[in-house]
Structures are given as structure tokens and as C-alpha cells.
Structure 1
Amino acid sequence: MKLYYILFDLMMAIIFFLMGISFYKSNGKAANFLTGYNMKSVEERKKFNEDTLCKDYGKKMMLWAIPFLIGIGIDIYSPGKGVFIASILWVIMLIQLLIERHQREY
């Protein structure tokens, strides 16, 4: 069971890191995958620099891998606690992103 938790943390870290790299290197082409952005009108989209937007979100996604890497270290000594702690940290980071995004748009 210990191996399951470690592999789960590892896969989550890899997924977030690869998604972050993909957004960062997309030159703004991944902006359509951002929730809400793809629903904005053409005039509203002109207000945004898509390249910068994708780079910012890419950096945040790469940072989301860190709690799961920490979770691997915790799961080695205490199986299951690392996944739980990593998930809580990730949810906190996600909520922080949503709050920042809401403040920027309104």
C-alpha cells in the first residue's frame, strides 16, 4: 500500500509539471484551455497578453507539483499522510489562485 501512495504522489507531480511546461512553452496558444478565457469575446481577449497569461499559469501549475513531491517524502515514513497533506496543500494553492483571479477580473 505504501507504494501506491508514493506512485500517486509521483504521478500527480509529473502531471502538474508537464502541464505547466506545456502552458509555459505554448507561446499563448494554450490560453483557450483556461476556464472562462475561452468564453470571452474577441474584444475582451485583446485586453490580455496571451503569452504572459500562459506563462503565469504554467509557473503556477509547475508549483502545484511541489506539494506532491513533499508528499512522497512523507509517504515513505508514514504511508497515506503524505497524500493527504499534499492534497490539502494543493487545494489551498488552488483556492489562492481562484481568489487572485477573481480579484484581477472584478
Structure 2
Amino acid sequence: MAYGDFEEKLEMVKCFLNDSREMLDDVEPQIIAMEEKALTVGEIDEAILNAIFRLFHSLKGSASFLDLQTIISVTHEAETLLDIFRSGQAVIKPAHVDLLIRTT
């Protein structure tokens, strides 16, 4: 890899990290709000659930572009868990929320 290519990729990774941190900071309160509604009302707010899913999907796409395999894997697993809730195969529990928060 040429020095210029390295510098360009480094700059892209820095941008990815900055953008991702902002997105993850925004999603944590949404995850908590989703849990609170599920516990009080007994159902998941689909708008919040879909917004959280889109965030993880966007992160996975950006990470794929940069070939960041660990981030790709973690975000894929988060998407899989969220899809289980989206399809109604399971109800959200505090352990699920803890897991999603840890991914952020």
C-alpha cells in the first residue's frame, strides 16, 4: 500500500470513528426508551426499533467499506437480535437491552 493510500484510508477510518461515535451516542437513549415502553406497555415501539436497526445496518455498511471485520460481525449480530424482535419471535427483556447497550 502506497503512503498516500495509507493516509487516505487512515482519514476515512477517523471519519468513520467520529461519525459512529455520534450515532452510537444517539442510539443508547433509544434502546433504553424501547425497553421502557416494552416493560410498561408490553410491546415494542416499532418506530424506535426500526431506527435502532437502521443505525446498526448503517454502521455495518460503513465498516464493510473499510473492511473492519469485528465491527461488521458485532453489528450483524445486533441486526439479527433486532430482527427477532421485529418479527415477533421474542419479547425484549432487560438482558437483551444490556447486550445491545454493550454493543454501543
Does the TM-score normalized on the shorter chain lie above 0.5?
A: no
TM-score, normalised relative to structure 1: 0.43
Structure with greater contact order relative to length (CA < 8 Å, sep ≥ 6)? 1
TM-score, normalised relative to structure 2: 0.44
